[in-house]
Amino acid sequence: FLSNAFYFALLVVGHEPSIPDFGDEIWMQVGIFTTASVWEEIESRVLLIGVPIMCIDFLFRRERVASPIKYILGGNMEIGIPESGAALFSSLIFGLAHVEWWDFWKFFPAAVTGLFLAYLFMRFGLYAAIILHFMLNFFDMPFVVIDRSSEFGLPIILLVFGLWGFVKYGKTLLGFVYHDLMKVPRPGPPRATTAGDGKTLR
């Protein structure tokens, strides 16, 4: 959604964003997007989150040391300050990695996406991050064969679908930033109080 919003906004102001040439053949685009979904997650999440956290646990938090495969596959990670810092760092690198191929306009939406992918890696595992990355990469593949008679047609279509996904999953991302990264306590259940007659009130 953010990428399409940025793209559409730049078109409106008269600037055509730089987009890499993935080739004219659909099979070539499928190959590029498929391999990117896997290798970019290994580089950005495993190498920039899993491996550093494994080293931190081994050196400073021996009571939390787990099997190396746990740090590679991710999932069920307790998110503390080191994990939050690694997630932020990996998302920034993820955003910068897209600048060379696309342009600087791609940095912010890619970094925000990278933050959500980092959350998936830590909470659910590498497979979840790869699946979402795969879905995002192939989001506009059905429109490749559409005659783009209007340069605004495709961005508008993608914005409609992207807005739905952003609203649906944005709350999860905001909760991760607010509670896990900013360390704001999550609201707990209401505390029970006892009345004068010994009855419990809520």
In a domain, 193, yes or no: no
In a domain, 192, yes or no: no
Query: Where does the pLDDT of residue 149 fall: very low under 50, low under 70, confident under 90, or very high at 90 and above?
Result: very low
In a domain, 148, yes or no: no
The total number of structural domains that make up the chain: 1
Cα(202)–Cα(190) distance, integer angstroms? 7
In a domain, 146, yes or no: no
Using alpha carbons, select from 136, 144, 151 the residue that is nearest to residue 15.
151
Q: Based on the number of CB atoms within 10 Å of its own CB, is 51 exposed (0-12), middle (13-18) or buried (19 or more)?
A: middle
In a domain, 145, yes or no: no
Using alpha carbons, select from 90, 110, 7, 112 the residue that is nearest to residue 46.
90
Cα(171)–Cα(169) distance, integer angstroms? 5
Structure confidence at residue 123 (pLDDT): 93
Structure confidence at residue 148 (pLDDT): 43
In a domain, 20, yes or no: no
In a domain, 47, yes or no: yes
DSSP for residue 164: H
Domain that holds residue 174: 2-12+25-140+154-186
Query: Where does the pLDDT of residue 177 fall: very low under 50, low under 70, confident under 90, or very high at 90 and above?
Result: low
Torsion, Cα 56 36 175 59, to 10 degrees, reads 0
Cα(130)–Cα(45) distance, integer angstroms? 10
In a domain, 147, yes or no: no
Question: Which residue in this structure is represented by tokens 């080293």?
Answer: 55
Average pLDDT over residues 120-132: 93
